[in-house]
A and B are shown apart, each in its own frame.
Chain A
Amino acid sequence: NAGVTQTPKFRILKIGQSMTLQCTQDMNHNYMYWYRQDPGMGLKLIYYSVGAGITDKGEVPNGYNVSRSTTEDFPLRLELAAPSQTSVYFCASSYSGQIPNYGYTFGSGTRLTVV
């Protein structure tokens, strides 16, 4: 199994450009999450989804959009890139919201730099 696959691994954007970070999982997990990791900071939740067609905002959603048209895919869209969005982005999935029982599977991350 591939687990959670994120693409691209690295990307440099210019201010005002747009891009989509891709996230795909092959474990039939219902729950999916996007986090960002800033230097010296913990991970912050951007958006999450509890199933296809259902998404909701996390702690830091401004400047981002998501969609969940299939169970497998959970892309994160940046519409107008800003330097404050320079970060490492992690996608994660879980079979259930009962994390102590089912746990998370993380992707390997996308390192984004906005210049």
Chain B
Amino acid sequence: GDSVTQMEGPVTLSEEAFLTINCTYTATGYPSLFWYVQYPGEGLQLLLKATKADDKGSNKGFEATYRKETTSFHLEKGSVQVSDSAVYFCALSGTSYGKLTFGQGTILTVHP
């Protein structure tokens, strides 16, 4: 079945540091890939998405590129802010009724 693996966390950075959160996947066919963010006490929000190989999703300074050859969708941001502190989930969607398969989540803490 489909699966998503994220880098082990948590991640702690200083403000303005570079962020990378690794995500790799296993899936049949051609899934769409997503990054979701969860702020404390809230539900998940879509951060960015990519629907085919070599697509780059971007939003709020975050970027991720759909790499089919390495089955990866790593999240990057050039300069993190304290307000980026949250839990980040990588996810994929196959073709079946919109069901999402999630990675385990990565806790990001950014210090001033």
Q: Is there a chain B Cβ closer than 8 Å to A53's Cβ?
A: no
Query: Do A43 and B100 have beta carbons less than 8 Å apart?
Result: yes
Query: Do B103 and A42 have beta carbons less than 8 Å apart?
Result: yes
Determine chain B's interface SS by DSSP, over half rule: strand
Q: A109 to B100, alpha carbons, bound, how many Å?
A: 17
Q: Is there a chain B Cβ closer than 8 Å to A90's Cβ?
A: yes
Q: Is there a chain B Cβ closer than 8 Å to A103's Cβ?
A: yes
Residues of A with C-beta under 8 A to B46? 103-104
Cβ proximity bits B78-112 to A, threshold 8 Å, 1 near / 0 not: 00000000000101010011111111110000000
Query: Do B89 and A99 have beta carbons less than 8 Å apart?
Result: no
Residues of A with C-beta under 8 A to B89? 42-43
Known pairs A45-B99, A99-B100, A104-B100; A4 contacts B93 (CB<8 A): no
**Neighbour of A98 across the interface among B6, B45, B98, B103, CB < 8 A:** B98
B-binding residues in A (CB < 8 A): 4, 31, 33, 35, 37, 40-45, 48, 50, 56, 58, 90, 92, 94, 96-100, 103-104, 106-109
